[in-house]
């Protein structure tokens, strides 16, 4: 396993043609954690930050790991199975009002825990959760497989809204435009709660949408920088464009996969391209994939990135 502390050698942030020097302040789990505590991240693409703690969902281990904001391991819970508190391919994790919500996809449910990891209840849904957000005590569930149920594209359900007991309240039939040969791939997206709204970014397209807590669309625009037309990016031959995003101070941060570096693109809330943050490494042939990102404001502003390639690792950047 590679030590990312030795990989990151340069951070260049360009603003209005003036070079500033950013700082990668931490990566974790560290080599010491791997050796002494046997803390390793195996397979997961979702985490959340709540009360300065990092909650990470490991899909293959069927376990939730909790770290403090400095990356120190605190505790973990969960195991493989079908009973209360057990998981089968858990996918998405959200912490909301002092409760942990985990989409337990293989068991067809969402499980709810206390902040200490004690099982509380389950929410049964008639769909598999590909992504979710919680706003105003409502579950927003994204499931692109619903496209297989419809012959008329106008009837495709983009996402569904449930109450916290699992009762369906509304279906949002607002499909994305086709951008890929297989229509189902055009309907996959990343979903985030941002300041009381739900933001969606198309995985294999440029569309960015914002919905209110009732599911009404407030705005829609394209991200100006099209990765599919970038000569360097096309060499990777990935069909994804931006695989994750977050929003901070009216700026969209979007990232995906790059060869030999981490690149994060910044846009305003109309989709206009602003600049990029580029982080070089000593491994020019490795693919670096950012699967999820969150921003934490304390005395300083920290951007947490979850890498899934070339290994699972958190990278913390001071903005």
Instruction: Encode pLDDT of 221-240 as tens digits.
Output: 999 998 888 888 877 777 66
Determine the structural domain holding residue 2 and report its residue range.
1-40+248-319
∠ at Cα 138 (295, 244), nearest 5°?
35
Looking at residue 158, what is its pLDDT?
A: 86
Looking at residue 257, what is its pLDDT?
A: 85
- Pairing between β-strand 287-297 and β-strand 257-259 as defined by DSSP bridges: antiparallel
Length of the chain: 319
Q: Which two tokens stand for residue 109?
A: 């449910």
Asked, for residue 252, whether it belongs to a domain, the answer is yes
Looking at residue 18, what is its pLDDT?
A: 28
pLDDT digits (tens, 9 = 90+) for 6-33: 343 333 332 222 233 357 888 999 888 8
Phi, psi angles (nearest 5°) of residue 180: -145, 155
| Mean pLDDT across the chain | 85
What is the mean predicted confidence (pLDDT) over 168-196? 77
Asked, for residue 206, whether it belongs to a domain, the answer is no
Asked, for residue 57, whether it belongs to a domain, the answer is no
Helix (H, G, I), strand (E, B) or coil at 2: coil
Which range of 97-111, 144-158, 185-199 scores highest in mean pLDDT? It is 97-111
* Statement: residue 182 has pLDDT above 70: no
Asked, for residue 29, whether it belongs to a domain, the answer is yes
Cβ atoms of residues 193 and 246 within 8 Å:
no
- Can you tell me the distance from the alpha carbon of 111 to that of 63, in angstroms, rounded to the nearest whole number? 12
- Higher-scoring residue by pLDDT: 63, 43: 63
* Statement: residue 143 has pLDDT above 90: no
Asked, for residue 287, whether it belongs to a domain, the answer is yes
Q: How many domains does the chain have?
A: 1
Asked, for residue 136, whether it belongs to a domain, the answer is no
- Can you tell me the distance from the alpha carbon of 30 to that of 39, in angstroms, rounded to the nearest whole number? 9
- Can you tell me the distance from the alpha carbon of 12 to that of 103, in angstroms, rounded to the nearest whole number? 37
Asked, for residue 6, whether it belongs to a domain, the answer is yes
């Amino acid at each position: 396993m590679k030590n990312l502390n030795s990989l990151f050698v340069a951070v260049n942030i360009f603003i209005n043609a003036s070079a500033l020097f950013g700082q990668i302040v931490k990566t974790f789990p560290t080599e010491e954690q791997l050796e002494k505590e046997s803390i390793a991240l195996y397979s997961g693409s979702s985490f959340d930050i709540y009360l300065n703690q990092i909650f990470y969902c490991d899909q293959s281990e069927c376990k939730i790991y909790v770290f403090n904001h400095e990356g120190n391991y605190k505790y973990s819970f969960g195991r493989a199975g079908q009973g209360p508190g057990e998981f089968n391919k858990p996918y998405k994790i959200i912490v909301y009002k002092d409760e942990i919500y985990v989409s337990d996809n293989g068991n067809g449910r969402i499980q709810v825990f206390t902040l200490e990891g004690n099982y509380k209840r389950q929410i049964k849904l008639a769909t598999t959760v590909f992504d979710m957000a919680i706003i105003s005590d409502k579950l927003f569930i994204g499931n692109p497989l619903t496209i297989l149920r419809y012959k008329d594209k106008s009837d495709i359900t983009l996402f569904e809204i449930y109450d916290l007991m699992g009762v369906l309240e509304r279906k949002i039939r607002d499909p994305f435009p086709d951008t890929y040969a297989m229509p189902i791939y055009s309907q996959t997206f990343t979903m985030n709660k941002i300041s009381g709204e739900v933001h969606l970014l198309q995985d294999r397209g440029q569309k960015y949408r914002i919905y209110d807590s009732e599911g009404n669309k407030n705005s829609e625009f394209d991200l100006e920088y099209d990765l599919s037309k970038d000569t360097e990016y096309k060499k990777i031959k990935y069909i994804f464009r931006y695989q994750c995003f977050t929003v901070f101070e009216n700026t969209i941060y979007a990232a995906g996969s790059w060869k030999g570096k981490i690149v994060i693109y910044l846009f305003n809330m109309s989709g206009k391209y602003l600049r990029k943050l580029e982080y070089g490494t000593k491994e020019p042939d490795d693919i670096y994939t950012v699967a999820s990102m969150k921003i934490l404001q304390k005395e300083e502003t920290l951007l947490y990135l979850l890498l899934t390639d070339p290994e699972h690792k958190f990278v913390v950047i001071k903005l």
